[in-house]
Structure 1
Amino acid sequence: MRKINVKIWYAALVMALTMGLQSCGSGEKKQADATSKDGRSTASIDGEKKNSKNSALGDAISEEAMLHVASLLDNYLALKNALVAGDAEKAKSSAQTTLTSLEKFDISSLTGKLKKVYGSQLDMIKTHNTKISKATDVVAQREELDMLSMHMLVLVKTFKANQIPLYKQHCPMAFDSKGAGWLSEKRKIRNPYFGEKMLKCGSIKDSIMAN
């Protein structure tokens, strides 16, 4: 399992978009957590929003593609929250749901740069979710989250998939102080690598505005 630092997160993101995108503190702020208008802290796209929009690359995104990537983000956030809670079964279920969604999506519906970026992330997203779905404990599952988060970040920013703000957060203590990151729908730090042991360890490194 490769470990990456924050700089590599940015480098990978910039490279993907061009193809086509520390001490331990709570990092908490007083601003209320962002939620959708019905109170859900999810990234789901409202069924009423039927019109296509342009990606970060300038290409038009179909409704099908928007819904697909938004569902991947929802599943990712559910998986991350399961790891915060130390619930291996829920993490496994979320990973399996992602794998099913990936299998059902017709990549031929994408064209040009969007197809290239999606394809460049697909194999690794499958790989990390497969490992999580087969793992029997949260320790093994947590080892996959850092890299999975990087690939999800590329898709989310490219497809503008988040309907609420997202926060890129980082724990400097994870994996013997090598550090690891994750995406969250909440500003409040809830550490998926340590759970209750070090729940508030981490800080916000970046934010992604709602689309």
Structure 2
Amino acid sequence: MKSSFIKIMVAAVMLLSTSINAQIKNAKTETVKVYGNCGMCKTTIEKTGSIKKIAKVDWNQETQMATLTYDTSVTNQDEILKRIALVGYDSDKFLAPDDVYNNLHGCCQYDRVAKVPVKEDNKTTASSEDHSNHNHSEMITTEVQKDNQLKVIFDNYFLLKDALISSDGTKTALASKELLTAINTVKMDKIEMDAHMVWMKVVDQLKEDAEHISDTKDIKHQRDHFTSLSKDMYTLIKAVKYETPVYFQFCPMYNDGKGANWLSKENAVKNPYYGSMMLSCGKTVETIK
């Protein structure tokens, strides 16, 4: 009787696993250590790490092992573990921010194991001769890409904004196509942890708006989507910051008097929603530094 019960339970677990994998395309399953204590931890870890039809996390309270099943074409282990770390739970790859860990409920504050994050530039060399053979330009390029991949997004946004100021639908479509390319080439696992969650929230809508703007030369349609695009770009730039001050500006006339915002590198107002018709209509409502 006991043997039959065990077989039924094993079959049920296998069926559940098959069901999860069927929902997630290109499914890959991995097991990793995620630190936590209680049922509250389990709920938070699983809810934060899971995304419908993209990723599923199952955390075992006794072993502190998390089973990750995810769509390899959309996400990866690092992205899932970063999200979990951002809500207070360490893994062997990513440490939660100290202030977030300290704000966990008392029963959730697990014993932290001191870990040093691995960095690309901390490679051990056997000798000075070996070090001399490193490709320094390649190492520098890697660091620049890590730091600047979101800056490229902002730079292309500003070019798109300037094209709208000129009321040139063709130029605007081309600029938006470049923006879309920049968005699609971002490597999410290279984004710093504090910006990662924001990027995950806005990236799909950024792509959708950029696609709409690039697929038409109708300036009215382009400007309508620029409104939504600018809203998400504002959310992103607040989390990431730009190398110079950025001005968040507002036009009270657009959208039947409801108004619309945009970002600019210049404090002087040049309205992308009306161009030369009402070039100076609007004002700076915030300076982002």
TM-score surpassing 0.5?
yes
Match of 1:108 in 2: 189
Matched, 1:169 2:260: no
Whether the aligned pair in 1 keeps the contact of 2:249 and 2:285 (CA below 8 Å) is yes
In 2, distance between residues paired with 1:116 and 1:166?
Answer: 22
Residue pairs, 1:96-135, within 5 angstroms: 96-110=177-191, 112-135=193-216
What is the one-letter code of the residue matched to 2:204? D
Which sections of structure 1, spanning at least 5 residues, go unmatched? Answer: 1-18, 21-49, 51-61
Whether the aligned pair in 2 keeps the contact of 1:84 and 1:192 (CA below 8 Å) is yes
Q: What's the CA shift for 1:107?
A: 1.2
Match of 1:180 in 2: 260
Residue pairs, 1:141-180, within 5 angstroms: 141-160=222-241, 162-180=242-260
In 2, distance between residues paired with 1:63 and 1:128?
Answer: 27
In 2, distance between residues paired with 1:196 and 1:81?
Answer: 12
What is the one-letter code of the residue matched to 2:153? L
What is the one-letter code of the residue matched to 2:212? K
Match of 1:200 in 2: 280
In 2, distance between residues paired with 1:65 and 1:169?
Answer: 29
In 2, distance between residues paired with 1:65 and 1:111?
Answer: 8
Match of 1:79 in 2: 160
Which sections of structure 2, spanning at least 5 residues, go unmatched? Answer: 1-85, 88-139
Q: What's the CA shift for 1:119?
A: 0.9
In 1, distance between residues paired with 2:253 and 2:197?
Answer: 34
Match of 1:30 in 2: none
Whether the aligned pair in 1 keeps the contact of 2:172 and 2:217 (CA below 8 Å) is no
SS of structure 2 residue aligned to 1:175: coil
Report the TM-score, using the length of structure 1 for normalisation.
0.66
In 1, distance between residues paired with 2:195 and 2:276?
Answer: 39
Identical amino acids, percent of aligned pairs: 31
Whether the aligned pair in 2 keeps the contact of 1:169 and 1:184 (CA below 8 Å) is yes
In 2, distance between residues paired with 1:111 and 1:165?
Answer: 20
Q: Closer, same or farther in 2 for the Cα pair 1:201/1:119, shift >3 Å?
A: same
Whether the aligned pair in 2 keeps the contact of 1:69 and 1:155 (CA below 8 Å) is no
What is the one-letter code of the residue matched to 2:224? E
Q: Closer, same or farther in 2 for the Cα pair 1:114/1:187, shift >3 Å?
A: closer
What is the one-letter code of the residue matched to 2:252? P
What is the one-letter code of the residue matched to 2:181? T
Superposed CA deviations along residues 100-139 of structure 1, whole A, max 9, x for unmatched, are 1222222122364432211111001101100000122211
Report the TM-score, using the length of structure 2 for normalisation.
0.49
In 2, distance between residues paired with 1:77 and 1:119?
Answer: 21
Q: Closer, same or farther in 2 for the Cα pair 1:187/1:135, shift >3 Å?
A: same
In 2, distance between residues paired with 1:111 and 1:186?
Answer: 27
Q: Closer, same or farther in 2 for the Cα pair 1:202/1:157, shift >3 Å?
A: same
SS of structure 1 residue aligned to 2:262: strand
Whether the aligned pair in 1 keeps the contact of 2:194 and 2:239 (CA below 8 Å) is no
Max Rg structure? 2
In 2, distance between residues paired with 1:132 and 1:75?
Answer: 13
